[in-house]
Every structure is written in C-alpha cells, then in structure tokens.
Structure 1
C-alpha cells in the first residue's frame, strides 16, 4: 500500500513575494503613471478608461514578478516596471511618427489617437510572455498558479495566499507569441473593437507586436517604436543596476535583435542571397556560413538605423553574443571563426557557422538548396580580403545619438556634422565602399523621414532608368512625388531635413524646392546635401562652402 504524497512546502530560506493589494502595486509606480498621464494629454475620464484600466489589469496579472532571474529588472515588481517604462517611451515616440501616412488628413485625425492608444498597449504588454514561459509561481504548499486561466492577483486573492514563490524554468526559450494568450487578461475585447473602428490594420499590428510576429507588405511602425523603447529601457536599467548589484550580464537582451537583423537581411538584401557570386551567405552540406566581419557590419548598420542603443561596435563582441545564445558554433576551442572557400573565391575567407539554417529561414519560406560540396577548408588565407578589411564607419561619422533622443526629440542634443575629411584607405577598399550608396543622416532625423529618404537614396544603386532620385551638380535630387509615394508629407520632410541643414538651396528665405527635368518631365523636388550620403565621390559635387549641421 503506497503512502499518500507528502505536501511540498517551499523552503523557508526563500522569503518569496508578498501578496500585495492592487492599490499598493499601482501606488508603487505612481510617479511613472503620472508621467504617462501627462504624455497622454487627455481628460481624467479618458485616461482612466484608455490607460489606467489596462495598467491596473497588467499589474494584476504580473503582480510582483521579476522580469529576469539575475539580469535586468530582476527586483520584485520588475516586470511591472518594465512594461510601464516601455509603454511610456513608446507612447512618447508616437509624437515623432506618422501613422496611416497614405490616408487623408481627416482619416488620420480620427486614427492617430487609436494608433497612440495601441502603441501604449503594445509597449505595456511587450514582455507579457515572460509570465507564461520563463517561470512557475507556487504558494507555500507547492500549488501552481494557472497562468493561462487567471491573473496572478486574482489567484492569490481566491486562495488567500499571503506569500508566493517563483521557480525559474531552466533554459526556457523565448516565446513571445505566448503573450497573445495572456493579452485578454489585460486588454478587454471592447478596447480592441474600438481600436478597429474605421480601419483594418491597428489591431493586427498590435497583435503582431505583442506576439513577435511579422507583418507582410507594410512596415509595422507600432512594433518599431516598441522595440526601440524596450531596448532603451533595458539598456538604462542595466547601466543603473551595475552600481547597485555588482556586474549584471550586459548584452543579454541583444540576441533577439541580432537574430532579427540577420533574418531581415537574409530576406531583403541581395548580397545575402546564398551561394551567389560575391554573396555574404554560403550554404553547403557542412553547414550555413556568414562571412565575417562583413555580416556583422551589415547587422550593426541595420540596428543603428533602427536607433537601438547598446549595439556592440566590435564584430568580436557580436560573435560572442551569438555564441553565448547558441546561434553560432565555434570552429574549435581556440578559434571562433571558420575558414571557408566558396566556389569562385580566390582564397579562403573568414566566416561564422550558424547552428541551424532555420535561424535565417523560418516560417513559410523554405531553406534554400545547399551546395553539393563542402565549404570548410584548412588552407590559410594568403592575403587580407579587401571586403573584410573595410571597417564599419565609426559612430561619429554616422551622427549617432542615444535612443532617448529619438523617442524624446525635445531632449535631443545637437549632433555634430559629418566629417568631410577623406579616410586613408586602400584603393580596393575605396572601390568596395563606393559600390554601395546609402543615406547617412543624423540619428535625430525623424525616423519616418529617414526611412523614406533612405529607400529613395538606395535606388541609386540600381539602374538609373528606374531610380527614384538622381544626382545633380550640388547634390541628390529627390522628387516630392517619391516622398508622397512612401506615405510621407513633403512639408514634414522639408521641415525635418531643413532643421538639420540636410538640404541645398540658394535662398534661405525661400522654400527649398526646385524644378528640373526628371524622367522626361519637369518635376518638383528637393536637393539633399551629398555629404549625408555614403558611396559618392564628393569631389564631383559643387558643395556649398558653409558647413551643414
């Protein structure tokens, strides 16, 4: 006869967490909630309905749970504070962005408040998945909180629990999509119904952001704001906690952004199409390889364009993060990179090896066909490859500023002008660098303007007959119609570019627009200072003598 199971009591050495009331939870974050109230800029009734209600529901669901066991926001109430801070900065960032840019003014006037509300909710719930995937909550008798069924505060009240304890799951994978199952406990159906009024995109973009899912055919501006704000908040918390707690594990939040950058490059960049001539990605029977540090420079440039803080500038540091996350695997105990010899290569190339092709190609798109042969070689390189020797532009030349300046432009400091002094590099490196034309704008440029102008400038790398801009004597001519095609109001672009002195025009007292022949028709447009574009020979332009700031 078997004995009845002995009740499992939690070790008394763990003090656990006190089952605080909802009022105490909200009161502990009163200062931050007051800042959110000011940022919303609505009456008390509207704030209570649109912001305070989801805040209270979110606090009831996560209670005093930490965000991580031993890293950022690891203190009691860390997950609550993380959500509120991201929500605040994401909401603040909406002031510098245009949603529904292709809609009429009256339609945008109706949708903008809904976009701001949805962005706030997306920031609040961006890490909601952690309560389901990363930890287990138990009471003193070992009874587990059914996280999918009820908020933690409700479960504690129903069972009259005075203290509860957290057990962290070992090597729990990040599963952001689980946040969608917890979202109904925070956001009522009536809120989603209101957000969907008059449009079909706000709710899908919100759910995609909370669940970490892609949105096809159009950029998810809401998710972009939330991602930037999350990176800012985590980066600031890590720096602050270094003084209070010793040495937290810096960089642990960056793996998701690095992997996301690799996937975006693999799906959008022609240089990342595998197994093509001069490709950065090679896939053979012995694995998937990325040329290094070229791929690191591409990922760093992409993430810096996203205005994410804390992105390492060293390719070695990026590789260390990928190795620690299990994304890449080292060659041996003394060498992290591999030597490969792709077909047509003049010699061996340095590369990193990813642990699985699914890291780059997952979801509906299938992995490409691997080469029939192997890529790894034991031959030592006889010379430094020119592409590998080309360093990424230093931050000072990219006008980098912190994300806080991007989401809160009123606090932004002046950005130094790009240097015109030519770098002392070899002709081979100059030729490689000149092969790619790209926008090099100050980081405090409105992100919507940056994205639209950057995509226009990038067309200069293709056939001149299909390019969306052209070079003129004093700079790059950008038709206003191309800005409008990308959902950007020309007046906004002129104001943003003019404030940073990125435009060239003869009379500062008149509008900066000019008319010229473009594609066989007289077209109105702007002339962008060529010093804000990389890959051009500045000696061929009649650049104004006055410095551009």
Structure 2
C-alpha cells in the first residue's frame, strides 16, 4: 500500500537510521485519504447527509485525524501494523460505531422532542469517539524522528504539519519498549483533531454529550449513568481488531490473538466489583478476598462472571476457556502466578470449609481505581502452603455456567462449598446445598429463559435486582399481577421499549388482559403517572407467588 513496513530498530551508521530502514514517505494527506475512498463513501452513506454537510461535519475531522497520525502503524508487530494502520483503525471503528447508533437510544429519560434534537449530536460524537479511540498510541507507544534524529513533538503539532514545516522527505518510527497503555493521553491529542467549535456544537442543549465523548477517548469512567457512546466504540473496536487479526493470519502468519482483550477483561472485573453483591470483598460467600498478602479472586467462578458480562456486551473474540482468560491476565501483569509451575493459588478465607482455588491480582488498584477508597484488608494471611498445587492449564475443569446478569447473588449462596467440591472432592456429586435454596427463596432476581435476547435480559435483570434494595430507589415495583417495569428504565439502559416488548411477548413473560392490544399500562410510580410493562412474577425468584393474582401458565 505504502511500501514496506519500517524497521523498529536503527543500525549503527553515520545517521540515526540506516539506509536499510526505508522509513515512511511524506505523502500528502489528500493522497493518503484517496486510498480509503471506498470506506469514506460508506461513512457518508451511513451519515445520510449531502456532500456539503458531510464535508463540514465528518470529512474535516477525518482530514485532521489523518494529518495527525499520517502513516503511523497502530502496533509494531500485531494488528494494523502496516503503514497507515492507525488511520485505517480509526476510520473502521468510527464507521461501525456510527452504524451502531441506529439501534440505540440516547438520552432515554428526555422527551421525544429533546431526543430528536440531540440524536444527531450523539451520532456525531459517537463517530468522533470511534475515530479517536486509539489516538493515545501516537503519544504513548512510539517516537517519530527524521533522518537527522529530530523528534516529532507530538503534543504540540500534527505529524503532517511538522513534516511540511521541516521539509522532511522520510521519517522513522521507534517503538517504546514495554510502553503501558495510557488511553488518557488521547485527550491531549484530541484538540489537534476536534476543533473547539465542534465541541461547542455538540454541547448545545445538553451537558452530557461532550463529557461522555471525552470519557470514551480518555478511557475514563462515568459514574452516574451508562456511557452508551463508549459501549458502541468499545464493541466496534473489538470487532475491527478481531477481523484484522483473522485477516492478518493469512497474510503475515500467526498474529497475537487476544492481546487487545486485556482492557476489556480488566474493565469487566472493575464493573463486577462495583455493582455485584457477590464481589464485595471479605464478605461471607464472596468471590473476592483481600488480605495482608494480596487480593485474590476465586477461580474459575470470577472468570465465568467476566465472560458472561462481556458476552452480554456482544464483544467479539472473547475467549471461552478460563485458561485463556488467565493467560491474558498473566501476560498483561494483571495477575501473578504462584510459581513457575502453578498459575493459581490456594487460599483459606475465614469460614471456608477447605482451601479454595484463586488467582492473585498484582495490585488492589486494578479493581478499585476510582474515587472510592480501597477496602480494608483482613489482618490475616489468605494464601496457604498446601501441596500439591494444581497447574491451571493441566487440571482445571470447565467453568461453571455463567449466570445471567443480575443473578450473581444466587451462586454466591453456594459459597466455598461448591468450590471445595471442585478442588478437594473431585468425586463428590454436585448437589445443591441448603444455603443455595435459602438464597434462591429470599433474593429477588430475574429467572429468564435462555432464549431471551441478551440485551433484554441484561437490562431487565438489573432492573429487577434493584428490588433487593431501598424501595424508594428501586427501578420497578410489585403490583397485584406481577412486577411493574417503567419503559423509561428500559430506555435509560439503552434498550428500545419496542424491542423489549417483542422479546418478552414472544416468550409470554408479560401480563396483560387483552392480547390484541399493546401490553403497556399506566400507573403511579414515584408520585408520577408512568407507562410500563408488567412482568409475570413466575419469571422472578424470591417472590411469594401466593400474593399475586397469577394469570394463565406462561409457555416459555
């Protein structure tokens, strides 16, 4: 496309770079973008605007991005490693993220009129988020120099501008050794791509679009509500990288599959630690234990939870094997092995009947890195010195089936009993302990058929789970015939009510008097007349069915 990929190392010679390293030719931005005219045409079609509007709202951003990254590859020897790889990566992620906005609702709690006004801005911001999602690589992963060794000041000016000002004919790339991923650096390069006027337009009539965009580019959490924009970008990035790796296997040999999944696995662990009751550390039946000798996650239970969460996000390429998940965490220095022969540890939490398999994280900050303080560790040691320990890759069995979102608390009731059956009593029959039955009878959680749409299960499960807390803050309530679920709560979780009604209706999970009319109903909810659906109580655990006027038996 643009000639051979440059070498990442310089050979001894009179110049910092040997003539054996061809470097990158200083092509004009217009010539570089001409190589992507097919993809640009698809982006314009997805925007659905005329040429003038597209040139103003999208093409200007693309040209600025191309001017900043020029022909830089995304990685030295993995995905999008060819010259121009970083540009290609940004364009593809932007396209798929923009395409994904058609199936999502932004500003779900706003009125229809407000949403109609904000929807184009959300789409525009999502496109920008996809385009600039890997912008940090130009600052954190590599160094650009000319033939005389002068370094490109990446914080100060776009690469194309620096090349033109210095009349550089070729430039060379040096890759930083073991450079950590620092997505927040993308915020410093963003002003070279996105002009202040664009941000001003995005902020018109709202106060959330720009913060969500910046959080996505910088890899920062949004604590008050779900960042739908970032979810679309993350899913699109995983898709694009997964496709490129599969294609690269045909052209370049064996690529490093899974190396881009570390960020998603760490994000899943943090999300579980922040919202799931079973991940509260050092609590009875918890999956997470924090002692003076470190932070441990029960394994493979935690792997199954993370896999279920990422599969609900519909991210492609998520490994099915817990061994692969652990290998990725070890390679990324997220987890540390017990020794050269054993990846997992044996721990003895307080109250456990026997030692449990676990992995050890390298730092508590991996789970608790936000404004909340890390919990206080136990005053005792958790790791045991029992032998022999079992290598994860040799003897670990398949993980327990992942629980639907919103039901993790039910498996927590099994506690160390189930883990002990796996690790120290391999021949014992798998029985349900009384603790499990008691928990299933008291905790309120969604019990949905496996055929239910994963997005609907995820949203509805999180809504039903709020019934376990304070009734004043619950996202649903019980009525005479079932569970009343406001449509606004579904929209707030990025789910279209029409999709939810169709999926739940097909499985006969809704209660409504007239099958020839829509299943929606209105009632007082929090002092406001609210439109919602009534969920059949037989699809929720922890309820006394005798207190409901149960309709005909559901046929799911």
Common fold, TM-score beyond 0.5? yes
**Does the Cα contact within 8 Å between 1:327 and 1:354 map onto a contact in 2?**
yes
Offset of residue 522 of structure 1? 11
User: 1:483 is matched with which residue: 486, 489, 510?
Assistant: 489
**d(CA) in 1 for partners of 2:150 and 2:204?**
42
**d(CA) in 2 for partners of 1:120 and 1:166?**
28
Q: How does 1:213-362 map to 2 (within 5 A)?
A: 213-362=220-369
User: 1:497 is matched with which residue: 488, 503, 521?
Assistant: 503
Find the counterpart in structure 1 of residue 432 from structure 2.
Answer: 427
Find the counterpart in structure 2 of residue 78 from structure 1.
Answer: 85
SS of equivalent residue, structure 1 residue 165: strand
CA separation of 1:440 and 1:229: change in aligned 2, threshold 3 A: farther
Deviations 1:336-364 (A, max 9, x none): 11001011111111111111111112243
Find the counterpart in structure 1 of residue 217 from structure 2.
Answer: 210
**Does the Cα contact within 8 Å between 1:341 and 1:347 map onto a contact in 2?**
yes
CA separation of 1:508 and 1:158: change in aligned 2, threshold 3 A: same
**d(CA) in 1 for partners of 2:314 and 2:123?**
20
Find the counterpart in structure 2 of residue 437 from structure 1.
Answer: 445
CA separation of 1:462 and 1:431: change in aligned 2, threshold 3 A: farther
CA separation of 1:296 and 1:244: change in aligned 2, threshold 3 A: same
**Does the Cα contact within 8 Å between 2:133 and 2:216 map onto a contact in 1?**
yes
User: 2:134 is matched with which residue: 101, 124, 127?
Assistant: 127
- How many corresponding residue pairs? 507
Find the counterpart in structure 1 of residue 423 from structure 2.
Answer: none
Deviations 1:216-241 (A, max 9, x none): 21111111111111111111111111
TM-score after normalising by structure 1: 0.82
**d(CA) in 2 for partners of 1:23 and 1:39?**
22
**Does the Cα contact within 8 Å between 1:179 and 1:210 map onto a contact in 2?**
yes
**d(CA) in 2 for partners of 1:28 and 1:442?**
45
Find the counterpart in structure 2 of residue 512 from structure 1.
Answer: 519
Offset of residue 247 of structure 1? 0.6
Deviations 1:480-532 (A, max 9, x none): 36637947798535555368656445754322236899999999753447898
Q: How does 1:463-474 map to 2 (within 5 A)?
A: 468-469=475-476
**d(CA) in 1 for partners of 2:17 and 2:159?**
18
Confirm whether residue 115 of structure 1 aligns to residue 133 of structure 2: no
**d(CA) in 1 for partners of 2:451 and 2:323?**
25
**d(CA) in 1 for partners of 2:525 and 2:195?**
52
Deviations 1:400-456 (A, max 9, x none): xxxxxxxxxxxxxxxxxxxxxxxx963349749956734658899595x55542322
Gaps of at least 5 residues in structure 2 are 1-12, 390-396, 408-428
**d(CA) in 1 for partners of 2:492 and 2:210?**
22
Offset of residue 48 of structure 1? 0.6
Confirm whether residue 392 of structure 1 aligns to residue 407 of structure 2: no
**d(CA) in 2 for partners of 1:148 and 1:102?**
38
**d(CA) in 2 for partners of 1:211 and 1:452?**
26
Gaps of at least 5 residues in structure 1 are 1-5, 383-387, 399-423
TM-score after normalising by structure 2: 0.81
**Does the Cα contact within 8 Å between 1:494 and 1:512 map onto a contact in 2?**
no
**Does the Cα contact within 8 Å between 1:349 and 1:381 map onto a contact in 2?**
no
Deviations 1:296-343 (A, max 9, x none): 111112212222111112222111110010011101111111001011
Deviations 1:129-158 (A, max 9, x none): 000100011112221111111111111112
**Does the Cα contact within 8 Å between 1:292 and 1:350 map onto a contact in 2?**
yes
**d(CA) in 2 for partners of 1:544 and 1:114?**
42
SS of equivalent residue, structure 1 residue 322: helix
Find the counterpart in structure 2 of residue 410 from structure 1.
Answer: none
Find the counterpart in structure 2 of residue 58 from structure 1.
Answer: 65
**d(CA) in 2 for partners of 1:326 and 1:142?**
33
**d(CA) in 2 for partners of 1:105 and 1:523?**
15
**d(CA) in 2 for partners of 1:118 and 1:519?**
33
**d(CA) in 2 for partners of 1:347 and 1:198?**
58
Confirm whether residue 105 of structure 1 aligns to residue 106 of structure 2: no
Confirm whether residue 34 of structure 1 aligns to residue 54 of structure 2: no
Offset of residue 478 of structure 1? 3.3
CA separation of 1:102 and 1:518: change in aligned 2, threshold 3 A: closer
**d(CA) in 1 for partners of 2:189 and 2:526?**
53
Find the counterpart in structure 2 of residue 173 from structure 1.
Answer: 180
**d(CA) in 2 for partners of 1:264 and 1:489?**
19
Find the counterpart in structure 2 of residue 421 from structure 1.
Answer: none
**d(CA) in 1 for partners of 2:159 and 2:260?**
25
**d(CA) in 2 for partners of 1:358 and 1:78?**
32
**Does the Cα contact within 8 Å between 1:69 and 1:168 map onto a contact in 2?**
yes
**d(CA) in 1 for partners of 2:248 and 2:501?**
39
